Structure 1
Amino acid sequence: MSANELPIAFVSAGDVVAANIALPIAGLIIVPLRFWMRTSRKMGIQIDDWLILAALVFVIGMSIAQLYGVSQHAVGYPSRDYATPIEQLTSLPPEQRLTELIYWITWLLMLPANGLIKLSTVFLYRRIFLVGKGSAFGITSTAVGLICLLWTIAFFFATVFGCGTHVDRAWGTLADIMSCNTNMRLDAMMISDLITDVMVWALPIPVVWGLRISVARKLAVIAVFMLAGASLAAAVVRLIIQIQISHGGYSAHTNVNLTLTTNLYWCIIESGIALIASCLPTLRVLFRITTISSAYNSLRSKLGMSTQSSEMRVRSMNMGDSLDKMPSLNIHVNQGFSVETETKRSSSDRSDKSLV
């Protein structure tokens, strides 16, 4: 049956292709830029960088799987119409079987991808806010990181062995899938994924809010950290679809392939956006330098200034002269001090060197 009882519109094969090309390419640009920024500014490559690189590999794997499904006219294409709900439960056309297999593979790749992105973000926060031993932020961030790690491991193996030793039932008939209690597992997985996302993205808010700076600058910094929260919207959409499937049952009057395709689309949207946004706190320094350089180059062209003079001025700005006059905020917490100690210092005493 081709009707759509979902509260979310079906996506087309073209939508799937666009998302699975654009997001990995953006990741292939952003992640190397992150490494370049680390090395060029002599910050050193640390665990948060390696974790995000590993996450990129899994995101690319998700895209390859989905693009292959589209190339076989399975993902993004409607499955066969059925005369009765019983026929829908027991029939398994080749294109539906492939779509179900791609869906299962995507989850196997998305779980470590999302888990690595969350862990990378937690380690990035700990790198930015160098905390004293036993500080509240240190304990909280460690707990959140541990929860994300256990979540990734637990649901990865739950997905692999969701049907026990009968692994292939995960891409069998709808009756086979239903026998594995797949909906219950997916409900728990998506809800907990959303909860851990909120925990991770909200982690730095209390720390930033405790800094002795203007409210406007606090909000600006929080906005940079919360850009990854855009992926939460995709997670919510995917959860809405799953709840509708669980409520309506596998025999609901909706197209199987297009329903799974819509879920696949929002899976890559969530992981791709989260990966890109998690790199932005690091790359904001690059954006600031680029903006300054572009402004001076434009001024040089208008005033006929020499290239050497312009470059010297840009270099002077980038060396940290009067950075407090710039609209961006540079947070620096000295090693050996707790966050609580740092927040008590006035903003004028802080170093202008950015660690992100």
Structure 2
Amino acid sequence: MYSSYSVAAAVCSCFFPAFAALAVAIRFRARIAHNLKLGSDDWLIVSALVFAFSYCCIVLYGSFRASVGQDLSTITPVDYTNYQKHLYFGVIIAHLSYGFVKLSVLHFYKRIFTTQTFRLWVNVMFVVVCLFMIVATITQIFSAWPISNWWTLGKNYTINYGAFLTSFAAIDLFLDVIILCMPLPVIRKLHVKTRKKFLIMGIFWMGFFCVVATAVRLYFGYKLSLAGAGKPVSDEEFSYVSVNNIIWAEIESCCSVVAACLPTYGPIMRSIAIPSSILSSIQSLLNSVKRKSTARTSDSNSNVWIPLSGDRVKPASIRKGQDVEVGVVQSGEIRVQRSFATETHTQEG
């Protein structure tokens, strides 16, 4: 017989990775169907999906073969060893998944916003996230020494493991909030109506649920830290806290992948029966972000970028039937920006 906690962990391990895989598939469909070049953000989100999927597979197998979700007072020493091994490797994989999602979102920002100051801050955050991934991975690997102590009954960690989960969940939450807030100063300076500014912010804040998932995981990590600090806790309560920490880690990793994909669905939305007013609003919002951002960058350059026209054209380098917008010209180059796209092509003038 399996406990309800084990069943819940198994169900989440099946549903959420499938949802995340579908989101990434739609993202690539949108890119390929409209002949858009795949970028670093696309490959980083694939890496995040691989790690999220791997973590869910570990939890799924552990739910039936390694006592994940079971009352720890009822398992054998062999079951305990299997349980700890799954937990050990699962935490490493989960932290890598969180990190790659953040890196993907940061690269997506670099596609949308072209101001030098903003791109500088994106690069700084990129380094910070990489350091976070490295430190989290190394800390988890050497949280017990020798490493086999991690899954050996009666052995202790070299650190307060509950405090480790709590602190790194708090840092993860802090980084998520910063990354979500990064576009706000740029959006605030756009010369558009306040209502449109809120709509643009809503597009980039689709990942807010991931912040909620991280906050819940932080709570259960804190509960584990109390147990690690010696506070009396029953086996049943500890099982409840540990399995919820695992489940919310799954939810965070998979939903982060989904949230990172949502803003990239613009091209494929044209082929879906969605009111044209909604499509045109979303397209104009993101095009406005790119045009305003590019305009501020060009104003700071010594060379003047002269607008050619606001009319739509179809250069020879673009396939027939594809809408594009002419941006600006500099040194004999025509820079073409697709509607609701994130690539820039050049054609010799």
Structure-1-length-normalised TM-score: 0.76
Query: What per-residue deviation string (whole Å, max 9, x for no partner) do you get for residues 138-172 of structure 1?
Result: 111111111001111111111112224x1122233
Matches within 5 A, 1:1-356: 12-72=5-65, 74-80=67-73, 93-131=77-115, 135-164=116-145, 166-173=146-153, 176-248=155-227, 249-250=229-230, 252-255=232-235, 256-287=238-269, 289-292=271-274, 326=281, 329-332=284-287, 333-334=290-291, 337=294, 339=296, 353-355=339-341
More strand by share: 2
Whether contact under 8 Å (1:231, 1:273) holds in the other structure is yes
Of structures 1 and 2, the one scoring higher in RCO (CA 8 A, sep 6+) is 1
Separation in 2 of the partners of 1:148 and 1:139? 14
Whether contact under 8 Å (1:221, 1:329) holds in the other structure is no
Separation in 2 of the partners of 1:338 and 1:254? 61
How far off is 1:266 after superposition?
0.6
Q: Identity rate of aligned residues, in percent? A: 21
Equivalent AA in structure 2 for residue 144 of structure 1: M
Separation in 2 of the partners of 1:336 and 1:280? 21
* C-alpha spacing 1:49/1:335, structure 2 compared with 1 (3 Å): farther
How far off is 1:238 after superposition?
1.3
Separation in 2 of the partners of 1:325 and 1:179? 57
Equivalent AA in structure 2 for residue 53 of structure 1: V
Separation in 2 of the partners of 1:259 and 1:98? 19
Provide the secondary structure at the position in 2 that maps to 1:212.
coil
For residue 314 of structure 1, what is the aligned residue in structure 2? none
Structure-2-length-normalised TM-score: 0.77
Whether contact under 8 Å (1:100, 1:171) holds in the other structure is yes
Equivalent AA in structure 1 for residue 68 of structure 2: V
Whether contact under 8 Å (2:58, 2:86) holds in the other structure is yes
Provide the secondary structure at the position in 1 that maps to 2:232.
coil
How far off is 1:338 after superposition?
5.7
* C-alpha spacing 1:124/1:108, structure 2 compared with 1 (3 Å): same
Whether contact under 8 Å (1:178, 1:250) holds in the other structure is no
How far off is 1:229 after superposition?
1.8
State how many pairs are aligned.
301
Query: What per-residue deviation string (whole Å, max 9, x for no partner) do you get for residues 94-141 of structure 1?
Result: 33333322222111101111111000000001101123xxx2211111
How far off is 1:251 after superposition?
5.4
How far off is 1:252 after superposition?
2.6
Provide the secondary structure at the position in 1 that maps to 2:71.
coil
Separation in 1 of the partners of 2:239 and 2:73? 9
Structure 1: where are the runs of 5+ without partners?
1-9, 82-90, 296-316, 343-347
Provide the secondary structure at the position in 2 that maps to 1:291.
coil
Query: What per-residue deviation string (whole Å, max 9, x for no partner) do you get for residues 294-319 of structure 1?
Result: x6xxxxxxxxxxxxxxxxxxxxx7xx
Query: What per-residue deviation string (whole Å, max 9, x for no partner) do you get for residues 17-58 of structure 1?
Result: 221111111122111221221122222001000000011110
Separation in 1 of the partners of 2:296 and 2:165? 38
Separation in 2 of the partners of 1:172 and 1:339? 59
How far off is 1:74 after superposition?
0.7
Structure 2: where are the runs of 5+ without partners?
300-308, 312-324, 326-337, 343-349
* C-alpha spacing 1:336/1:268, structure 2 compared with 1 (3 Å): closer
Whether contact under 8 Å (2:20, 2:254) holds in the other structure is yes
Separation in 2 of the partners of 1:130 and 1:215? 22
Greater shift in the superposed pair: 29-38 or 115-124: 29-38
* C-alpha spacing 1:176/1:22, structure 2 compared with 1 (3 Å): same
* C-alpha spacing 1:139/1:64, structure 2 compared with 1 (3 Å): same
For residue 345 of structure 1, what is the aligned residue in structure 2? none
For residue 306 of structure 2, what is the aligned residue in structure 1? none
Whether contact under 8 Å (1:27, 1:56) holds in the other structure is yes
Provide the secondary structure at the position in 1 that maps to 2:199.
helix
